[in-house]
Amino acid sequence: MNPEERAPGWRIRCRKCGLTEPWGKYGIRKHAAGTSYTIGWCPKCRWIRIHAIERGGDPESKLKTK
Protein backbone atom coordinates (compact mmCIF):
# COMPACT_ATOMS: atom_id res chain seq x y z
CA MET A 1 0.00 0.00 0.00
CA ASN A 2 1.24 3.48 -0.92
CA PRO A 3 2.06 5.63 2.18
CA GLU A 4 -0.03 8.50 0.80
CA GLU A 5 -3.10 6.22 0.73
CA ARG A 6 -2.82 5.40 4.45
CA ALA A 7 -2.90 9.06 5.54
CA PRO A 8 -3.78 11.22 2.54
CA GLY A 9 -2.64 14.82 2.84
CA TRP A 10 -0.69 14.39 6.09
CA ARG A 11 3.08 15.00 6.36
CA ILE A 12 5.61 14.59 9.16
CA ARG A 13 8.29 17.30 9.49
CA CYS A 14 11.44 17.31 11.62
CA ARG A 15 11.46 20.52 13.64
CA LYS A 16 15.27 20.70 13.61
CA CYS A 17 16.26 20.08 9.97
CA GLY A 18 12.90 20.43 8.17
CA LEU A 19 12.89 16.99 6.51
CA THR A 20 9.34 16.11 5.43
CA GLU A 21 7.90 12.70 4.58
CA PRO A 22 4.39 11.29 4.10
CA TRP A 23 2.88 10.44 7.50
CA GLY A 24 1.35 7.25 6.07
CA LYS A 25 4.85 5.78 6.10
CA TYR A 26 4.68 5.77 9.92
CA GLY A 27 1.01 5.56 10.81
CA ILE A 28 -2.60 6.23 9.91
CA ARG A 29 -4.26 9.60 10.49
CA LYS A 30 -7.78 10.36 9.32
CA HIS A 31 -10.42 12.91 10.31
CA ALA A 32 -8.02 14.96 12.43
CA ALA A 33 -7.35 18.69 12.56
CA GLY A 34 -4.43 20.89 13.57
CA THR A 35 -0.81 20.05 14.21
CA SER A 36 0.32 17.27 16.53
CA TYR A 37 3.82 16.45 17.70
CA THR A 38 5.64 13.19 18.19
CA ILE A 39 9.15 12.08 19.09
CA GLY A 40 11.02 9.87 16.67
CA TRP A 41 14.17 9.12 14.72
CA CYS A 42 15.10 11.61 11.98
CA PRO A 43 16.98 9.91 9.13
CA LYS A 44 18.58 13.21 8.05
CA CYS A 45 19.72 14.42 11.52
CA ARG A 46 20.47 10.84 12.57
CA TRP A 47 19.13 11.64 16.04
CA ILE A 48 15.89 11.47 18.03
CA ARG A 49 13.92 14.66 17.37
CA ILE A 50 10.48 16.22 17.79
CA HIS A 51 8.39 15.90 14.62
CA ALA A 52 5.33 17.92 13.67
CA ILE A 53 2.45 16.05 12.03
CA GLU A 54 0.75 18.53 9.71
CA ARG A 55 -2.00 18.60 7.14
CA GLY A 56 -0.66 18.58 3.54
CA GLY A 57 0.18 21.31 1.11
CA ASP A 58 3.58 21.86 -0.46
CA PRO A 59 6.27 20.67 1.99
CA GLU A 60 8.82 23.10 0.55
CA SER A 61 6.62 26.12 1.34
CA LYS A 62 6.89 25.38 5.06
CA LEU A 63 10.68 25.50 4.88
CA LYS A 64 10.70 28.86 3.07
CA THR A 65 8.55 30.61 5.68
CA LYS A 66 10.99 30.00 8.54
Q: Specify the pLDDT at position 9.
A: 81
32 pLDDT higher than 70: no
**pLDDT-derived band of residue 13, with 50, 70 and 90 as boundaries?**
very high
pTM of the model as a whole: 0.68
Radius of gyration over every alpha carbon of the chain, rounded to an integer in angstroms: 11
Phi, psi of 61 (to 5 degrees): -65, -30
23, burial (CB in 10 Å: exposed 0-12, middle 13-18, buried 19+): buried
User: Considering only CA atoms, which of 62, 9, 64, 48 is closest in space to residue 32?
Assistant: 9
Summarize pLDDT for 1-12 with one digit per residue, the tens: 676 777 788 889
Q: Specify the pLDDT at position 48.
A: 95
Contact between residue 55 and residue 13 where contact means Cβ atoms under 8 Å apart: no
